[in-house]
Copies of this chain bind each other. A is one copy, B any other.
Amino acid sequence: MRSINIIVAGFGRVGRAFCKVVEDKRKSCRERYGLDLVLRAVFKSDGGIFSDTPISMQSGFLSAPLVIQESPDWKPGLRVQNIIGDLEPGVLVECTPSDLRTGEPGLSHLTAALEKGWHAAAASKGALVLRFKELTGLARQNDLQLKFSGAAAAALPTLDVGIQSLAGADILGIEGILNGTTNFILTRMAEGMDSEQALKEAQDKGIAEPDPTFDIDGWDTACKLVLISNTVLRTEFGLSEVQVEGIRGISHELVLKASRLGKVIKFMGKCSKDEPADPWKLAVGLALLDPSHPLYGVNETTKGITFYTDTMGSVTVTGGKSDPRGTGAALLKDIIGIYADR
């Protein structure tokens, strides 16, 4: 049995769901993988819980949003950087909100972790899309692992399949429905609902954020595409190099016309080349799919990705829960993956 220290940075919906998944899977992690995950600290933007002893998942702070600040071990103003050098290194789990301008606070957390000998598993995207090369380089240089399934479509295994399942094959192109909110809106529109009604239903159901810009303007898809491309195709793209067109201006008539023709309009991210020797191009926008396309039937909040290869044909993965628990489960998978190889 191996005891692994875990620090969770960010305790919103994802951080909380991750802690709950770890709690639910404590027994099977020990039995199947020989890993005893020990929660040592949890941080929010205004402080953290930390003491000399591990945090008990049973202590009740997981369920109630406010109780964390009322814990006897709550330290106002405490930051990841203050304590990470003092603990036996394990895995930093990064779940803070994605800031695409500064990458903070995730960037400081990930940098501190990788400098102090900690592996990292990230669900937040900002730091990774802004500083992909530096962060992955820092991990490699220190013989550590930086995993980010949680930031690259979460429970849909985009990176595992691209790296491990297609090892040895040449990838000729990638396309994916990578965002649940926009796929939900387009699914409803194809059923006859207009785009505003569809967005409202998505918001009412907690699928879309109150400010849906990140999703419907395509930035969420673009971030995932950058992470997938940089990892699987070994590119070094930044977000500004992706051609991004959101779904804001989509005509309802266009969606219905596609339906009448037996086709569907999907909002997709694509990695493509004009000619084999050309550099990769990344684009996010609407695409018209025939029934024979492997992502044709991917509806509602479901996501999917297709890899086109030379020796293995095309391989498509669809599904994977699009909710905080699915992301929490993807973070746990990454932690198990880190120690499976070591």
Q: Do B170 and A165 touch (CB < 8 A)? A: no
- CB-CB under 8 A from A24, the residues of chain B are 311
Mark A272-310 against chain B: 1 for CB-CB distance below 8 A, else 0.
000000000000000000010010110000000010010
How distant is A119 from chain B, measured CB to nearest CB, in Å? 15
Oligomeric state, in copies: 2
Please tell me if the beta carbons of A168 and B336 are within 8 angstroms of each other in the complex: yes
CB pair A329–B312 under 8 Å, yes or no, is yes
> Once the chains bind, are B315 and A168 in contact (CB under 8 Å)?
no
Most chain B CB within a 10 A radius of its CB, from A21, A296, A311, A314: A311
CB-CB nearest in chain B for A21:
B311
Nearest neighbor of A35 in chain B, beta-carbon distance = B168
**Closest chain B residue to A332 by CB distance?**
B168
Q: Contact: B320 with A312, CB < 8 Å?
A: yes
Contacts of A28 in B (CB 8 A): 168, 170
Of the candidates B165, B312, B321, the one whose C-beta lies within 8 Å of that of A161 is B165
Q: Is the CB of A314 within 8 A of B319?
A: yes
Taking residues whose C-beta sits less than 8 angstroms from the other chain, chain A's interface range is 35 or more
- Choice from B29, B311, B330 contacting A312 with Cβ under 8 Å: B330
Nearest B-chain residue to A169, judged by Cβ:
B329
Residues of B within 8 A of A322 (CB): 313
**Which chain A residues have a beta carbon within 8 Å of chain B's beta carbons?**
21, 24-25, 28-29, 33, 155-157, 160-161, 164-170, 291, 294, 296-297, 306, 309, 311-322, 325-326, 328-330, 332-333, 335-337, 340-341
A-B contact pairs, 22 of them (CB 8 A): A28-B168, A33-B167, A155-B315, A157-B164, A160-B164, A164-B164, A164-B333, A167-B332, A167-B337, A168-B333, A168-B335, A168-B336, A169-B333, A291-B297, A294-B318, A312-B320, A315-B317, A315-B318, A315-B320, A316-B317, A316-B318, A340-B341
